[in-house]
Amino acid sequence: MALNRLLLFIAFLLHIRWSRTNPIRLICDRRLIQKYVAEATDMEEQARQCEELPLLPEPVQLPLVGFALRDWMRMTNQAKGQEVLHALGKVVDGAAVAREVVRQGCAVGPLQQLYERASSFLLQLRNFRAQEESSSQQLDGAPQVALERNPRRIFQTYSQLVRGKLRFLFQDLWRDSCAGEAPGAT
């Protein structure tokens, strides 16, 4: 697991260097989240078209990413961020396991892309939260998870997370941090 974390950190550094994005740009440029929603949908579609995806030998924990908008709006941005970070962590862990199992075929590329994108989001949001908040609070209750052996569910979970909670979190953070001064704010 330590090797996975080291590789995750290296991938993040390379991503930051190549893309020259920073956490504020990730939040403040509203065009980026639309790009990431489209990417997530494309990855999910690519995985859906792969016929030879084997089941994972052991189930992975995936977050339940559905939510009630009314409950979501009552939460603080810190609680929302913590929930999204936890969900992204579970997706990254699940993608890492799936990459070890699926080493050939049409899903190798999308799995790598999923792992890299989810890892990048995870690290950038952690960095953003570190800049915005000096204290780290834990979630009141453990977020719900489901055990899953089908790699396609990892793609579906990530896509739902990006289209739902992550997009809404970005909107809330944008409103609090960037309104009126961000590129793509219109």
Domain chopping of the chain, boundaries: 2-177
Task: List pLDDT tens digits, range 118-132.
Answer: 998 888 888 776 655
Burial class (CB in 10 A: 0-12, 13-18, 19+), 20: exposed
Structure token pair of residue 162: 């990006």
Task: List pLDDT tens digits, range 84-111.
Answer: 999 999 999 999 999 999 888 888 999 9
Helix (H) or strand (E) holding 167: helix 167-177
Q: Is the dihedral of CA 118, 123, 124, 128 positive or negative?
A: positive
Task: List pLDDT tens digits, range 136-182.
Answer: 445 555 678 999 999 999 999 999 999 999 999 888 888 877 766 54
Q: Yes or no: is domain 2-177 CATH 3.40.50.1980?
A: no
